[in-house]
Amino acid sequence: MSAAHDESANASTVASKEDRVLVEVEDLKVHFPIKRGVFLDRTVGHVYAVDGVDLRIRRGETYGLVGESGCGKSTLGRALLRLVDQTGGRVVFDGVDLSTLKGEPLRRMRRRMQMVFQDPMSSLDPRQSVASILVEGLRAHGLDTDRVATDRRLRELLTAVGLPETALRKYPHEFSGGQRQRIGIARALTVNPDLVVADEPVSALDVSVQAQVINLLGDLQEEFGLTYLVIAHDLAVVRHISDRIGVMYLGGLVEEASSDALYQEPLHPYTRALLSAVPVPDPELEDRREHILLSGDLPSPAAPPPGCRFHTRCPWRQADRCDTERPALREVAPGHRVACHFAEDIRDGRIARHAVAAEAVDATTGLPGVTSSSAAGPASVTEVLGP
C-alpha cells in the first residue's frame, strides 16, 4: 500500500472522528458582575464562575464533569444550553455557534438540548399534573398537534422511565424522590433531544435509588441514541456511567481523560486528591493507597489566585512557576489532557510532595496564599497526611 494511500486513510479517519463531535466548547467564559450601591449600582468586580474552558462531547457518549461545589460545573452546563449568557468564547452545537442565535432560531435549537435538574421537587411545578408537565414541552415546540399521538407518546415515555400510565393523572408531591427524578428525565425526552445535560441527577436520592436512576440513564441512552453531559461530585457515579471525564477546579478544566485512564493514573494533583478521598471497602488496600489531605478551602471565584489556580493547596507546588504562570490544558497521552506544569515529573516521582500550611491572605495583593516547606526530599508521613 502506498504512502499516499495511508495518508488519505488517516485523513478520512480523522475527519470521521471530527464529524462525530456534537458539542465543541472553545475558551468559554461566564463572569457574573458583583454590584454595589443602592442608586449607582456600579460593578465592583466579577465572579469568574467559568474561566476559559475547552472541551468536546462526541455523539452518543457520556461526558462526566466533576469537581468541588462552587467550581463552575453547573454554570458550564447551563451555558451550553444558553440558560446563562456567556462572557466570552464559543459553544458550537452540531456545527452551529449558539452565541449567534436569538429568538426563534435559538428556541428551535433548544429542542435538541434538554436538561435534567438537580432537585426533582423544585424543578417540577407542584400545581401541574404529570401529564401537564410532560406535554408542556411538546406544545412549546408545536409538536402537540394530534391528541391521540401525544397521549401515546406520554405513555411510552412513562413506560421507558419505569412509571405506570396512571402517573399521568397524579401530581409531583405524590411521588418519591426517585420517581420525581424519573418524571424529570421523561420531561427532557419528550421533544427527542440529541443532548441531555444532567445536573447532579442522583445527588438528592438514596443510594439504592441512585443505582436505579443511573442504570435508567444508560438504558435510555441506548434506546434513544442520546448524548449526555453528567455533572456530579460523586466520583463512583461518574466512573460507572461516563466514557470520558473532565475535572474542574475554580472555573477551569484541569484534567480530561477516559474513565479508565483517569482512575488508573490521575496526573493532576487535584484529581489525585479527589480520588484519594474516595472510600475503599478493603482495609488492606486502603492502607496501601495514596492519601492526600488538602489544606484550606476553595479560593473565592471572585478573587482567584494568580498562576496555577490550584497552587494555594498543591502539595507539589513549585513556587518559581506555579505562582505566576497559569498552565494550559495540554495532551500528555492520547486522549489524556492535563493543566499542570509538572504532571510528568510528579507522576514519575521527580518532584516530592511537601507539607502545605493553612491558607492565608497576602496583605499586599489581597489574594489567598500559602506557606509551604519545599525543601528537597519527601516530607514525613505526618507532615503530609496529618497526625
Q: What is the pLDDT along the chain (387 residues), one digit of tens a residue?
A: 444 444 444 444 444 444 589 999 999 999 999 988 777 678 889 999 999 999 999 999 999 999 988 899 999 999 999 999 999 999 999 999 998 998 889 988 989 999 998 888 888 999 999 999 999 988 888 888 888 999 999 999 999 999 999 999 999 999 998 899 999 999 999 999 999 999 988 887 888 888 888 989 999 999 999 999 999 988 888 888 999 999 999 999 999 999 999 999 999 999 999 888 777 776 766 666 777 878 777 889 999 999 999 999 999 999 889 999 999 999 999 999 999 999 999 999 899 888 776 544 444 444 444 443 333 333 322 233 333
Q: Is 89 part of a structural domain of the chain?
A: yes
CA distance 232 to 278: 14
CA distance 43 to 261: 43
Q: Is 62 part of a structural domain of the chain?
A: yes
Count up the domains in the chain and report the number: 1
Q: Which domain holds residue 200?
A: 3-112+193-385
E-only strand ranges, the chain: 21-36, 42-58, 62-66, 88-93, 96-97, 113-116, 195-199, 227-231, 244-249, 252-258, 330-333, 336-338, 360-361, 368-369
CA 217 to chain centre: 16
For residue 302, give the nearest of 37, 28, 26, 44 by alpha carbon. 44
Q: Is 148 part of a structural domain of the chain?
A: no
- For 80-83, which contacts have Cβ atoms below 8 Å and span 24 or more sequence positions? 80/23, 80/25, 80/113, 80/195, 80/197, 80/229, 81/110, 81/113, 81/115, 81/197, 82/106, 82/110, 83/115
Q: Is 172 part of a structural domain of the chain?
A: no
E-only strand ranges, 219-366: 227-231, 244-249, 252-258, 330-333, 336-338, 360-361
Q: Is 21 part of a structural domain of the chain?
A: yes
CATH number, domain of 13, equals 3.40.50.300
Pairing of strands 21-36, 88-93: antiparallel
Q: Is 149 part of a structural domain of the chain?
A: no
CA distance 224 to 193: 9
Angle, nearest 10°, between helix axes 177-189 and 207-224?
A: 20
Q: Is 152 part of a structural domain of the chain?
A: no
Q: Is 253 part of a structural domain of the chain?
A: yes
